[in-house]
Chains A and B, each alone.
Chain A
Amino acid sequence: MRNIYLEPRTERSAFAPFLVSMLAVCLTIIAGSGLFLIYGKSPIAGFHAIFIEPLQSSYGIGEILLKLGPFLLIAQGLAIGFRARVWNIGAEGQLIIGAILASVVAIRFDGSTSSLLLPGMVLAGALGGMGWAGIAAWLRTRYNANEILVTFMLSSIALQILYYLVTGPLRDPQGFNFPQSITFSAAATFPILIENTRVNASLIIALVVTVLAWVFMQRSLMGYKLVVGGLAPHAARYAGFGEKRAIWLALLIGGAAAGIAGVGEVAGPLGMLQRTVSPGYGFSAIIVAFLGGLHPIGIVFSSLLMALIHVGGDFARLSVGLPSAVTDIFQGLLLTFYLASSLLLTHRLRLRKPDAVLTAEAAE
């Protein structure tokens, strides 16, 4: 008889995060196959629709690139906070406030052809996201209020504010009472990058932010301080890295990135402010950040995968007739399997004789 034991890893390999993410993807595919069978659909057809079909048309690729932008932006911002163990799960709300403030700028300067209008909207969106996340930072540093709860609840508040504004002050007066704003002028929308797709210049911002995130986390002293604060709070205090500063910085960065993603929606595919500005990008980006190992490069790949799942979910609905919840289910499976697999980052499985014991520390 041999039993399976968990034992702490003495060393970590550089590939472990990558392997763990791949394991989560594989397990998702296996569990997904089971679900397809329960629905009486062929798993091969299902996966073909989700993972292959979107890549076979320029429309599909365009949609993937369109969704890549917000995932990349938000996840890069969140990952910086998560490395510092600041759990901002309210990127959705920060995105909405960013979208609202950018829309206010666009509506206020409607008709302007100034080339400063779009940058002004981006700035307003970033400030909006920062402000919204800043509330959580202030409550945490001043009153030690848990930022998980605060950011999450602020998301609900942001959504209600959005509903109020699109049915009231920001509603298009000529819009037949539809809950949406006026359509933004060309100067207030991102130019299209690839013809015949909806891919716009906001993707460039996301790519630039990715590079900046890499530099910040891997090469800057500020990023180092954040990481130390997350890994070893006592060491951070010993070194004199202020904890409050880290909390502010982590939340403001995440908020700014989410806010800009909000601008990318209203000044991109939507072209206006409406009741739905995001199909849950802010929440999905949490999964993206973790699946990418909280590493700027890893997040590029996990963002692509998440964009593919979102677009592929739509394809599967049309071609295989799967319910629209398939996207959510796949996201949930991914997160669950990732969390389970991530145990293997710090531990490994070993087969042992039953009467041997758990601890086998290096000889001392």
Chain B
Amino acid sequence: MTALLKLTGISKIYPAVVANDAIDLTVMPGEIHAVLGENGAGKSTLMKIIYGVTAPDAGTLEWLGTATRIKSPAHARALGIGMVFQHFSLFDTLTVAENIALAMKGSVKSITPRIKAASERFGLDVEPEMRVQSLSVGERQRVEILRCMLQEPKLIIMDEPTSVLPPQGVSDLFKTLKKLASEGIGILFISHKLDEIRELCDVATVLRHGKVTGTAVPREETSKSLARMMIGRDLPHAENRGSKAEGEVRLTVSDLSYVPDDIFATPLEHVALTLREGEILGIAGVSGNGQNTLVGLLSGETRLPDAMAANIRLNGAELGATGPMDRRELGLHFVPEERLGRGAVPEHDLSENSLLTGFGSGLAKYGFLNLGGMKQFSSNTIDAFDVRCGGPNAAAQSLSGGNLQKFIVGREISLKPKVLIVSQPTWGVDVGAAAAIRQKLIDLRDEGVAILVVSEELEELFEISDRLHVMFRGRLSPAIKTQSTNVEDIGLAMTGDFERLETPAEPSVVEHA
């Protein structure tokens, strides 16, 4: 049988780094092929070469047995190569259907029913008429997946597609992918989730520092052995001894119903939660279910009307109508999911970015910048959180996503919060950095800080949180102790079935003995 795609000795050299060094890779029809590696291992560059975004400096690429030079993504699509990007390539001002129509033949009108059919078939819940700018990050990824599926490609490249799906969605996607593979379609599956790769993939090619460090049949490997191939040592795992006795209540949200100004944002219905000192409270859920609305109200970026100020309380004080500065003064800090442009000013260096939330903590005096203090603060944060960068004068946009996230999390932790709200703490962060961030959160919890984590990654929430809520269509489930639930129940709740969470977590009170 002819290989679908055969790469021989592919190399790509950038001024600062050798991204790909003599990579060999073969994908057969009907094969689900994993490309495994940390951020920076060269996966994305390799995919860009296959998809015609970047030209290789050396090596040959054979498509269906013929040496081919893929000139552009359009060329790649014409050949039958589809790609689902990790970083979205959607136009914000267009609707879902218009975005998809851009990459296909046919009018928006004729494509809309196909989108609806495909979204049902793959369990990818997306409204074709919605404008992309009002979609959450997770929903945007669903649009990307749909767009690729609609082009009926021979080879599909998927760049970490599962990070935004609930567990049921993941298994549905896997069923779809397996079905596609059985029809002879090849799939290149990029991920760092080892369990998924072991479940789904036939072959794995492991990259480290731009080189192939091994190929394996994932089913015959353990997660540990795959991780060792990938990072060259054992996978770090956050140490979590569980929280101590119940601490004092720090943050309460009571019966919060709120319709945001943006008509496409999800309204909240009767949301209630209690966050205590010394605990990590997790909020699970597929993004786009009201997490952004809730987090905006908690951080103060969105203010409640005065009449509703009491619906959010910090240490008993009514907080709902105040802004971020007032809340920060009371010890509430927040790490947003968007790092560039929200958590940090891209053009500013790290020293200036430390001022963004640190100006109230001595980095500005009498209205003037404390330049020495800013530099000191940022280099301390860089050291303490192992931020790899060019120092305090490095522009935020020059850092990789993971390192910038370490800096932002580090900045907020260094500002000594009493309550810390973190949205998607490890999104797009490589496994090493993700483990470090989780460990920092656990350490902070052990020091008595109340932490709220909003995440789509269940694995992460189970690893670090003491109690869990699930968010679905603007409603928040009751909290349940992480130890007394499991991925299945939470997964069910992520699709709207809160029933199993509503039964008491501990059967301590049994009325009819």
Binding site for B on A (CB under 8 A): 10-12, 219-222, 224, 228, 231-232, 234-235, 237-240, 242, 355-357, 359-360, 362-364
Contacts and interface: CB of A to CB of B under 8 A. Distances in A.
Contacts of A356: 55
B352 to A, nearest CB: 7
Contacts of A242: 323
A363 B45 contact: yes
B395 interface: yes
Nearest to A237: B301
A102 to B, nearest CB: 30
Name the 7 nearest CB pairs between A and B, nearest first: A363-B19, A240-B324, A240-B325, A364-B44, A234-B342, A221-B364, A232-B345
B69 interface: yes
A271 B336 CA distance: 57
Contact of B14 (A222, A228, A357, A360): A360
Given A220-B368, A357-B72, A362 B16 contact: yes
Interface stretch (B98-106, B118-126, B270-278, B354-362): B354-362
B368 A231 contact: no
Contacts of B356: 228, 235, 238-239
Contact of A357 (B17, B55, B342, B346): B55
A234 B299 CA distance: 13
Given A238-B324, A240-B325, A228 B345 contact: yes
A218 to B, nearest CB: 8
A231 B346 contact: yes
A71 B26 CA distance: 66
B426 interface: no
A240 B328 contact: yes
Nearest to A238: B342
A310 B338 CA distance: 48
B53 A357 contact: yes
B334 A238 contact: yes
Contacts, number: 106
Nearest to A223: B369
A356 B55 CA distance: 6
Given A11-B398, A363-B42, A238 B369 contact: no
Nearest to A355: B71
A231 B53 contact: no
A160 B344 CA distance: 46
A209 to B, nearest CB: 18
A360 B338 contact: no
Contacts of B342: 232, 234-235, 237-238
Contacts of A240: 300-301, 323-328
A338 B39 CA distance: 40
A356 B324 CA distance: 47
Nearest to B86: A364
21 contacts: A221-B355, A224-B355, A224-B364, A228-B348, A231-B345, A231-B346, A231-B348, A235-B343, A235-B344, A237-B301, A238-B334, A239-B325, A239-B357, A240-B300, A240-B328, A355-B71, A357-B71, A359-B53, A363-B19, A363-B42, A364-B40
B142 interface: no
Interface in B309-335: 323-328, 334
Contacts of B395: 11-12
